[in-house]
């Protein structure tokens, strides 16, 4: 489901709602598909930790956790401790002060901040109960999402599309024989671009998705670079694209889908020239373009 703008929206929503809050307890459901870290590892890292920050890296949500340096001697049980910050629920609390909770939403994942009485949706795989009374819930029908915890600083494999400089952008594609659409989807080149925004950026730049990446002129790449940054920023402003079931941390849909030029518009007229939008398959993914406006 979620690409850079959607993940950014969810991360901002989480930050706004639970930054500074402390995780009291964690419930983790059974899943056919593993979460990546084990349930025990996740619970050990999360329980008793304070959420310092929620942010986006590529298509990942990174939640920075802090833990009071429980200087060994007195470790109290989590329940009884009047209004101090973090309690240490485990006797052998991690030696690390800091940790990270990494969430990938896959195709259909969502991270919701709810009240405890909100009905529990089908396919809820994790519930973190916060000291404030709120709950953070990870819901993921298709189970392509992943949860992990780590002490290592998380790094995306590729460049951040909104931070990368133009020269660096050019060098990513210069030698690639693969179609430009495939190169845009390759997370080890750029992290965060998915099927919607690849199509939308190519449409705005006037470039056909099947064009070999290496065949793009510097001028083509400049238009693509500008278009990509612009479309991502606009989409973030509108809370992302809700094509079917994407919602943010508050359960709200995004609105960028009404601005799509090509994605999901097969057969509909191009907004500029009225030519029907075409759909082809590249590397197994639907790709949409206007055959007149994109060369």
Partner DNA sequence: ATACCGACCTGTCAGC
Partner DNA sequence: TGCTGACAGGTCGGTA
For the annotated catalytic residues, the residue numbers are: 2-3, 59, 285
Vertex 154 angle, CA 141 and 149, to 5°: 55
**Residue 114 interacting with DNA (CB under 7 A):** no
CA distances (Å), origin 248, targets 9, 67, 113, 185, 210: 6, 27, 9, 23, 32
When asked if residue 141 is in the footprint of DNA (CB under 7 A), the reply is yes
By CB under 7 A, name the one of 72, 76, 244, 291 that touches DNA.
Answer: 244
How many residues touch DNA (CB under 7 A)?
A: 41
Alpha helices in 186-217 (DSSP H): 195-205
Q: Which of residues 11-70 bind DNA (CB under 7 A)?
A: 32-33, 58-59
Spell out a b/e string for 52-61, using b for 16 or more CB atoms within 10 Å of the CB, else e: eebbbbbbbb
- The separation between the first and the last C-alpha atoms of the chain, rounded to the nearest angstrom, is 28
**Residue 89 interacting with DNA (CB under 7 A):** no
Q: How far is the CB of 47 from DNA (least distance, A)?
A: 26
Q: Residue 106 interacts with DNA (CB under 7 A)?
A: yes
142 binds DNA (CB under 7 A): yes
Among 9, 93, 242, 294, binds DNA (CB under 7 A): 242
SS3 192: coil
Nearest distance in Å: CB 26, DNA: 22
- Angle, CA of 148, 152 and 153, to the nearest 5°: 95
**CA–CA distance, 108 with 33 (Å, rounded to integer):** 14
Distance in Å, CB of 143 to DNA, minimum: 5
| Residues at the site binding DNA, with contacts judged by CB under 7 A | 1-3, 6, 32-33, 58-59, 104, 106-108, 122-123, 141-144, 176-179, 182, 185, 187, 194-196, 240-246, 254, 257, 283-286
């Amino acid at each position: 489901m979620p690409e850079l703008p959607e993940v950014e929206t969810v991360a901002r929503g989480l930050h706004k709602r639970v930054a500074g809050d402390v995780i009291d307890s964690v419930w983790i459901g059974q899943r056919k598909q593993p979460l990546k870290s084990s349930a025990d590892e996740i619970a050990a890292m999360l329980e008793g930790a304070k959420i310092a920050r929620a942010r986006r890296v590529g298509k990942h949500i990174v939640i920075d956790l802090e833990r009071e340096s429980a200087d060994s001697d007195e470790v109290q049980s989590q329940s009884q401790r009047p209004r101090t910050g973090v309690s240490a629920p485990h006797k052998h609390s991690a030696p690390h002060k800091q940790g990270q909770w990494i969430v990938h939403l896959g195709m259909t994942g969502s991270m919701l901040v709810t009240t405890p009485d909100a009905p529990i949706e089908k396919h809820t795989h994790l519930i973190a109960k916060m000291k404030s009374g709120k709950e953070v819930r990870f819901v993921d029908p298709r189970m392509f999402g992943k949860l992990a915890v780590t002490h290592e600083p998380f790094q995306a494999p590729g460049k951040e599309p909104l931070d990368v400089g133009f020269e660096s952008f050019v060098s990513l594609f210069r030698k690639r024989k693969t179609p430009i659409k495939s190169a845009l989807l390759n997370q080890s080149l750029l992290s965060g671009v998915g099927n919607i925004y690849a199509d939308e950026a190519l449409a705005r730049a006037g470039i056909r998705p099947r064009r070999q990446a290496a065949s793009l002129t510097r001028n083509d790449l400049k238009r693509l670079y500008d278009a990509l940054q612009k479309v991502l920023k606009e989409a973030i402003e509108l809370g992302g694209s809700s094509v079917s079931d994407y919602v943010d941390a508050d359960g709200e849909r995004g609105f960028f889908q009404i601005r799509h030029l090509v994605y999901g518009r097969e057969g509909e007229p191009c907004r500029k020239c009225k030519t029907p939008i075409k759909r082809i398959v590249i590397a197994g993914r639907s790709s949409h373009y206007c055959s007149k406006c994109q060369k």
